[in-house]
Chain A
Amino acid sequence: MFLPGAIALWVALFALVASTYFYFRSLRGHAEARAWARQAYGLATTGAVIGSAVLLYLILTHDFRIHYVFSYSDLSLPTHYLISTFWAGQEGSFLLWLLCGMIVGLPLIRYAQHYEDRTLIVYNLAQISLLLILLRQSPFRLLADLPPGQVPSDGQGLNPLLQNPWMTIHPPIMFLGYAATAVPFAFAVAALWERRYDEWTKAAMPWALVTVVTLGCAILLGGYWAYVTLGWGGYWGWDPVENSSLVPWIASVALVHGMLLQRARGRFRKLNFSLAILAYVLVVYATFLTRSGVLADFSVHSFVDLGITGWLVANLAGALLIGFGALAWRWREIPTQPGDEPFLSRTVFFVLAITALLGTAAMVLLGTSAPLITRLATKPSQVAPAFYNTVTLPIGILLASLLGVVPFLHWKGTSKEFAKRLGLAGTLAVVTSAVGIAVGARGALYVVFLLVSLFAFFSNALKTWDEVRAKRFRVAGGYLAHVGLGLMLAGIVTSSAFDRTQKVVLTLNESKQVMGYTLTFKGVDKPTPTAREAMLVEVREGGGRSYVARPRMFRNEKSNQLVSNPDVRMRLTHDVYVSPIEFDPGRSPENGVTVELAKGETQKAGPFEVTFDGFDMSSGHGEAQRLSIGARLTVRHGKNAQQLTPYISSSGTGFSSDPVPLAGPKGAAVAISGVDAGAGRVRIQVSGVGGGVAKRAVLHKGESLTYKGVALKFDNFDLSDFDPQAGKINIGVVFKTTDPSGKGVEVEPVYRGGEAGESHEDAAVPGLPGVMVRVGRMNPNDKTVEVEVLDPSAPGDPGEPMKFAIDVTIKPMIGLLWTGLVVLLAGGILAVVRRGEEFSTAVAARPTSGA
């Protein structure tokens, strides 16, 4: 255990227990105990902050003795990803949650007023439950089985899918939202306890809004992340982890509306207590689902069972007991009154909306818990994503309709401009939907959903406009948020239900027509040696505009994982989404001429005359730890002379030779295939000049290949330079043949491979000038080798071109979704500000009160 961090957490635990104790004493009437309780809470917060700082320090200094640091970070991560490894794993994310919770508690103490003692007792218990999990599975534990004195030199690194800027912001916002749900819960239980059933909603409202804004933001950020990075073309997969943050969010939204209802009509107390308690219980349940391993077979996000399942169940039981227990205890005492509002009133519509929201939450929860539920009856199984879409569509239509009607309803009836405004909104919605149908919207339910979403958009937009014109800016927050919501719903249905998709295989430099676009695969681009390769696809659009899409497909060396990124191009009316499916690098043409030159010597290679001018030993070229040798050449073709210097570099594990293109025949290039620095000779291969594989055969030992009268007998392998441990894969193949004078000669082409790439060192065939023999694939099981005879006079092998298979999707109006998100957030923040101000003015007006 890394002591400083562990001690900080233990201190936090004891301080929280002390704080809880002192708050109990304060309840009993000991006035000075409250001050102690607050100080203890402050101490606990300090402990959490110090603990977090320690973990961050360990990560930033690469202390790989610590299990957590070893498991999730490594030396190669840039600083911002390094910081985000803090929350990459189970323990760290719990610590982040605790930290958020402790910090959220500070203003809570300030604003809780007479509820303070009881609220903080409950709140402290919630934080203690997190701390107990942290102490059970500590982020500071050391690597097990570490021999004394030995520290791993590098960590395992961060999952490449998480090496993304979104990883730095999405989780912290998410955990802030989780932490904030504990506040209304604490208030609700405190109010039940104290028997003051009314004012708590005012106190808890800003916190509930914080949850709605932060969780909502985090959820949508996650969706955007998936959309632009992962390549499966969606932003929401109904994955259990996604769902388990969606469900508490829906409950929090219902809670906010319920609180508004209670404040306006003085009723619905039981409803709000239930909702506040439910929201927190759902967060705890969600944590249980995703971190206990019960869904391990069914979700990409869920961590494996790490031994905290018992604690998670205990947490859940505790939350249920305290929350619903308090509610049950006071149930009969809570005042209720019947209502008398007509159907067309905000009151009734709010109740309907809350019911619809809870219905959605219940269905999503049902689907997510399917493996648990079915486990009880038969074998565990999950539900197909179609379940969620089937079930949420009708509720979505209902909710969007309610959303559109409500702005012009008063609490007890309709507003004056009800008919006019809704008529206008409805007309606008019908017109825009008709436009939508004209450009491709289809499917009855989807069109209806589009219609009501647009109706909600226009209706709330009109209301926002009315409020802004009357200078009631702060009221406008809620309506503005719903404007955003309407846009988002419309964007969701247009981009998913009305999208068009097509898969296509593109061959290098050949254009294909796909859904109105002309696509051409231009090759692979690797701008710097360490950059990830991007495939270049030129997209020419209808109006003559064109751009180059750069989807990527690469292998992460550490985890050997194939990662792909899509290219998303945003246009006003749609997104063009190009996602890689498969990449075939093809086979380069097997046509080349090899010549061996001494310094100053000139020889003919195909249509070129090549002169070797000398070596270039300046090892400034190439990356670190690579030894490079260049050969300065003068290449003449007709009247042109070119001076160039191809390089061959070795890095101890093999070597690679980079071809340099030649002016003249298309595709011609020259590369070094061998160097004898001692003798001052270099072997040059000129490729792309015609001539190719004249004969190919697979030989067993002792078998012969005859070409133009010369027989080559495969005699043996030469493994003198073969050391896989050192990364040297050099396999020579010895052939026995006879030279023109009848003498027995051995020729030995060599295959050189290794991490730096592979190359062939071909051997000249005696008696046939220019003809080389090359060895290809070797099969150690059958003890065969593939032999190729390269003859410059043979027809060239064109090789096989590069191919790139992609999935092209047009997503209409998805911009509405992201725009709607921004508007939603703006409206939400405006609403938080308004409710926060309201509460603090109410607080200032209230005389200070005791317990």
Chain B
Amino acid sequence: MSRSRMVWTVVGVVAIIGFVAFGAGAFKSNLTPYVSFQQARATSDAVQVAGKLVPGSDNFEEASSRLMFAIQDDHGDVLKIAYKGLKPGNFHEATQVVAIGRFHGGVLEAEKLLVKCPSKYQGVEEKEYGSSSS
């Protein structure tokens, strides 16, 4: 291989490795694992929580234009959630609500909501909603 070829190949390999490292870093920092409510409150990372919707807890807060509601996990812990997007279709019939977001100011600011409800369609059907992405 000619000299300039070798140089370019090395540059290319370095660039690829650099990009892969960049991608891996972005991957890790964007992972949203399922955590307990306690863990969600303790961190400012994006996390995923799941729980049963507390009936009657949902209301639309006009001032901040957010849907506020609360979910309860199996241990009885209750977490307040604020969501800026559209109220999901089957919200009130949900057996489980999954929220992805960061905990801030006493509530979990959800970017995405996943609503699981018993459905007439095959099995349990999930509906996922996100606020306007980038």
Name A's B-contacting residues (CB within 8 A): 71-72, 89-90, 156, 159, 161, 231-234, 236-239, 296-300, 303-306, 338, 340, 343, 355, 359, 362-363, 366-367, 370, 374, 378-387, 389-391, 394-395, 496-497, 499, 501, 503-505, 559-564, 579-582, 805, 807, 809
Contact = CB atoms under 8 A, between A and B. Distances in A.
B130 A237 contact: yes
B128 A239 contact: yes
A564 B129 CA distance: 12
26 contacts: A89-B122, A90-B122, A232-B85, A232-B130, A234-B132, A237-B133, A298-B114, A304-B125, A306-B123, A338-B1, A343-B4, A359-B19, A362-B23, A363-B23, A374-B31, A382-B100, A384-B112, A386-B30, A386-B134, A389-B133, A505-B65, A559-B90, A581-B65, A581-B67, A582-B67, A809-B132
Interface string B112-134: 10100001111111111111111
Nearest to B101: A384
Contact of B48 (A338, A381, A503): A381
Given A366-B23, A503-B65, A505-B65, A383 B132 contact: no
B103 to A, nearest CB: 14
A562 B122 contact: no
A161 B8 CA distance: 51
B23 A71 contact: no
Contacts of A366: 23, 27
A552 to B, nearest CB: 12
Contact of B122 (A71, A384, A387, A389): A71
B87 A497 contact: no
Given A156-B120, A231-B86, A805 B65 contact: yes
A233 B132 contact: yes
Contacts of B26: 387, 390-391
Contacts of A343: 4, 8
Contacts of B125: 304
Interface of B: 1-2, 4, 8, 12, 16, 19, 22-23, 26-27, 30-34, 46, 48, 60, 62, 65, 67, 84-91, 93, 98, 100, 111-112, 114, 119-134
B91 A559 contact: no
Given A156-B120, A156-B121, A564-B86, A381 B33 contact: yes
Contact of B27 (A71, A387, A560): A387
Contacts of A299: 126, 128
A379 B34 CA distance: 7
A562 B27 contact: no
B33 A367 contact: no
A363 B93 CA distance: 36
Given A362-B23, A505-B62, 14 more contacts: A71-B121, A156-B120, A232-B131, A338-B1, A381-B31, A383-B27, A384-B32, A384-B112, A385-B112, A391-B23, A497-B134, A503-B84, A562-B89, A807-B65
Contacts of B32: 381-384
A297 B67 CA distance: 22
Chain A CB count within 10 A is highest, among B26, B91, B112, for B26
B133 A381 contact: no
Contacts of A89: 122
Contact of A391 (B22, B48, B98): B22
A55 to B, nearest CB: 17
A564 B86 CA distance: 9
A71 B119 CA distance: 11
Contacts of B2: 340
**Secondary structure dominating the interface of B:** mixed
A535 to B, nearest CB: 14
Contacts of A234: 130, 132-133
Contacts of A562: 87-91
Contacts of A300: 114, 126-128
Contact of A381 (B34, B86, B91): B34
Contacts of A374: 31, 33
Nearest to B115: A300
Contact of A581 (B1, B12, B60, B123): B60
Given A382-B32, A383-B30, A582-B60, A389 B128 contact: no
B60 A238 contact: no
A231 B129 CA distance: 10
A379 B33 contact: yes
A367 B123 contact: no
B73 to A, nearest CB: 15
B132 A232 contact: yes
B27 A367 contact: yes
A155 B106 CA distance: 45
A67 to B, nearest CB: 9
A501 B1 contact: no
Q: Which 7 A-B pairs have the closest CB atoms?
A: A503-B65, A304-B123, A381-B33, A300-B128, A387-B30, A233-B132, A561-B89
Contact of B132 (A72, A389, A501): A501
Chain A CB count within 10 A is highest, among B19, B100, B112, B119, for B19
Contacts of A503: 65, 84
A383 B24 CA distance: 12
Contacts of B85: 232
A304 B122 contact: yes
A582 B134 contact: no
A232 B122 contact: no
B114 to A, nearest CB: 8
A11 to B, nearest CB: 27
A579 B4 CA distance: 56
Contacts of A382: 31-32, 48, 100
A581 B87 CA distance: 7
Contacts of A72: 121
Nearest to A342: B4
A389 B46 contact: no
A302 B47 CA distance: 22
Chain B CB count within 10 A is highest, among A72, A161, A382, for A382
